[in-house]
């Protein structure tokens, strides 16, 4: 390796002015004091935060935002963020270790016919805006994708709930205490048999 100080002989793809290359792509020195937190540690913190948020504030928060959504006082971005939150917390609750009744109680504000309707209207609006506003086509596509994911998550949650209801025989006499006790036992067994 003769003339190892000459970078141009080794790297022919370097620009004409190497000092400009060094200015644009500086080598950052590694600092031992700058350590990243463990990903597992951050995941545990986020999981605890989400669990506490679901238990303490989720119902009131989603109820307030749904009221704003029904009054049409949210921007399109805020509506899209709301749908992302609904999708995230519904999926988080579905995959959490809460029992089935608690899961349903935690997300009951995100699971309503009005929300399905508002998501569907927003998807149609995004589709129309993709046709009309060609410059912001990607933005509207992202918004539509987010709302479709929220719709899909709510549909999967409704499918789980309807499967539970379909497994229970509803042709019972409500005046017969034995049949009511059997129905309660069947409902309890379906709640514990779910993963």
In a domain, 92, yes or no: yes
Q: Are 142 and 79 in contact (CB under 8 A)?
A: no
Task: State the Cα–Cα distance between residues 177 and 195, nearest whole angstrom.
Answer: 30
In a domain, 70, yes or no: yes
In a domain, 36, yes or no: no
Q: Cβ atoms within 10 A of the Cβ of 38, count?
A: 9
In a domain, 34, yes or no: no
Q: What is the pLDDT along the chain (195 residues), one digit of tens a residue?
A: 454 455 455 555 555 655 655 555 556 655 655 566 568 888 899 999 999 998 898 888 988 988 888 888 889 999 999 999 999 998 998 888 888 888 888 888 888 888 889 999 999 999 999 999 989 999 999 999 999 999 999 888 888 777 776 666 566 666 666 766 776 776 666 555 544
Number of separate domains in the chain: 1
Task: State the Cα–Cα distance between residues 179 and 154, nearest whole angstrom.
Answer: 32
Q: Are 141 and 127 in contact (CB under 8 A)?
A: no
In a domain, 85, yes or no: yes
In a domain, 68, yes or no: yes
Its domain, for residue 85, covers 59-159
In a domain, 7, yes or no: no
Within 57-193, where are the H helices? 58-70, 76-94, 100-106, 113-132, 137-166, 177-193
DSSP structure class, residue 109 = G
In a domain, 130, yes or no: yes
Task: State the Cα–Cα distance between residues 137 and 140, nearest whole angstrom.
Answer: 5
């Amino acid at each position: 390796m003769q003339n190892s100080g000459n970078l141009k002989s080794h790297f022919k793809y370097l620009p004409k002015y190497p000092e400009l290359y060094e200015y644009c792509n500086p080598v950052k020195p590694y600092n031992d004091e700058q350590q990243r937190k463990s990903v597992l540690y951050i995941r545990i913190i986020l999981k605890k935060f989400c669990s506490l948020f679901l238990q303490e504030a989720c119902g009131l928060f989603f109820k307030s935002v749904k009221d704003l959504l029904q009054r049409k006082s949210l921007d399109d971005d805020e509506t899209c963020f709301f749908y992302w939150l609904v999708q995230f917390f519904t999926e988080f609750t579905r995959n959490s270790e809460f029992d089935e009744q608690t899961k349903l109680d935690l997300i009951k504000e995100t699971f309503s016919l009005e929300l399905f309707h508002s998501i569907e209207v927003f998807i149609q609006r995004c589709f129309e805006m993709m046709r009309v506003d060609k410059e912001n086509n990607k933005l509207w596509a992202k918004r539509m994708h987010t709302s479709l994911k929220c719709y899909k998550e709510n549909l999967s949650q409704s499918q789980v709930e309807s499967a539970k209801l379909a497994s229970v025989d509803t042709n019972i006499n409500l005046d017969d205490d034995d049949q009511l006790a059997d129905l309660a036992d069947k409902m309890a067994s379906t709640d514990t048999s779910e993963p």
